[in-house]
Amino acid sequence: MGLNLTLDLFIKAGEDYEKRQYVVLGSIKQVKQEFQKNRLYPHLSDLITLRTSLQQVIDGFTSVDKNGPKRIKDINLKENRIEFESVLSEQMDLEAVRELIKWSQPLIDAAIEEGISIYEYVDENLNIDQVGIKPSYLDEGYLFVPNHENGSLQLFRYEMSIYMGAREKYRSLKTTLIKTMNEGLISVSSPAGIKLELIKQFQDLPNPATYAFYTPLEFSFESTLFPVAKRKLLRMLVS
């Protein structure tokens, strides 16, 4: 992540343990400052990913405890596998990794909970309406999201795709900005009217799934409103 909280920071804990504690504290402080400004991403998703990775490392210590002192040789997050190698003379390096992770976990958890509470508040205050009749094909379509920071309505085309992870399938939503409209023009151009204009402009989607978002919140568009809107739409599409 952009705040120095990398997996490598923890894996090399034995090199300068106290310095790495200060880095963790400083990074968590920066994340919380962003949350106080209602800016969620990318920090919230980065923290959640880091927490998962650190737990995988902790879980890997079980086999080390059973088979004697080893050190981390390689971490393969895609396959959820950690490789160790025996190193009797460097047992303290492994202990430093364990201790730093254990010390950091409550701090990371607390920051994540703070971010999640903001996410839930935004999600509750971000309403979504289907524009027109729901088509049978939902993998492509349009979404309209207000950007109160600059008084505009952002029109996006979306494409839902499925990709395989190590153990299960995941869905993602790719979006492309088509047009930015002044919010003052929205009163004379309803979501249904905007949809008709898009159908005329992009004839490869003659009956597109279209969704319009509404919110009174004036939070950051790029860091909060739009990422939450995408996740909310994805939940709706797969439900």
pLDDT band at 47 (very low <50, low <70, confident <90, very high): very high
* Residue located via tokens 């190590």: 166
* φ, ψ dihedrals at 178, nearest 5°: -100, -45
Look at residue 231 in the predicted model and tell me its pLDDT: 96
Look at residue 62 in the predicted model and tell me its pLDDT: 62
Look at residue 8 in the predicted model and tell me its pLDDT: 85
pLDDT at 14 over 90: no
CA distance 35 to 92: 36
- 25-37 b/e (C-beta count within 10 Å ≥ 16 → b): eebbeebbebbee
* φ, ψ dihedrals at 159, nearest 5°: -140, 120
What value does the mean pLDDT of the chain take? 86
pLDDT band at 60 (very low <50, low <70, confident <90, very high): confident
Query: 66-110, pLDDT tens digit by residue?
Result: 555 555 666 665 566 666 665 433 444 778 888 999 999 999 999
Average pLDDT over residues 196-213: 95
How far, in Å, are 137, 151, 160, 197, 229 from residue 207 at the CA level? 9, 29, 16, 12, 22
Look at residue 67 in the predicted model and tell me its pLDDT: 53
pLDDT at 22 over 80: yes
Q: Are 75 and 59 in contact (CB under 8 A)?
A: no
pLDDT at 29 over 90: yes
Identify which has the larger pLDDT, 16 or 124: 124
pLDDT at 200 over 70: yes
Angle made by CA atoms 105, 111, 113, in degrees to the nearest 5: 100
Look at residue 88 in the predicted model and tell me its pLDDT: 38
Nearest to 234 by CA among 159, 173, 184: 173
pLDDT at 65 over 60: no
Identify which has the larger pLDDT, 239 or 108: 108
* φ, ψ dihedrals at 46, nearest 5°: -65, -40
- The first and second tokens of residue 59, run together, are 């879980």
CA distance 123 to 224: 10
Query: 105-158, pLDDT tens digit by residue?
Result: 999 999 999 999 999 999 999 999 999 999 999 999 999 999 999 999 999 999
